[in-house]
């Protein structure tokens, strides 16, 4: 079985597409190659250094705690995400 490439479709505004076309032209590359290289480069960087997990909301941070026993300062620490 041959290893056929998959397609990736995306929607862009005319301005976005023109911007990508210009950048590809500056690199003297076809648009598809430019987009593929940029996407793969970004994917590798993200995999190598994943973004921090989203902060959990206050309710999630306080869940399971005896919130009635927390001091105001402790609640404020949770509110600030520290």
The predicted-structure confidence for 62-80, as pLDDT tens digits, reads as follows 666 655 677 777 777 767 7
- State if pTM tops 0.85: no
pLDDT for res 76: 74
- Dump pLDDT digits (tens) for 37-53: 999 999 999 888 887 75
Between residues 70 and 27, the one the model is more confident about: 27
Provide the domain limits for residue 78.
55-82
For residue 70, tell me if it sits in a domain: yes
| pLDDT > 60? residue 54 | no
Long-range contacts of 34-41 (CB under 8 A, 24+ apart): 39/8
Q: Cα 53 from chain centroid?
A: 10
Supply 40's token pair: 């793969």
> Is-contact 35 20, C-beta < 8 A?
yes
For residue 24, tell me if it sits in a domain: yes
Residues 9, 10, 12, 18, CA torsion sign: negative
For residue 8, tell me if it sits in a domain: no
Rounded Cα distance between 3 and 14, Å, is 33
Read off the pLDDT of each residue in 16-36 and give the average, rounded to a whole number. 97
């Amino acid at each position: 079985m041959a290893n056929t490439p998959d397609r990736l479709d995306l929607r862009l505004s005319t301005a976005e597409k023109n911007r990508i076309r210009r950048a590809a032209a500056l690199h003297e590359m076809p648009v598809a190659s430019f987009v593929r290289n940029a996407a793969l480069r970004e994917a590798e960087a993200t995999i190598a250094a994943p973004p921090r997990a989203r902060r959990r909301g206050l309710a999630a941070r306080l869940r399971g705690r005896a919130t009635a026993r927390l001091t105001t300062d402790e609640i404020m620490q949770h509110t600030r995400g520290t």
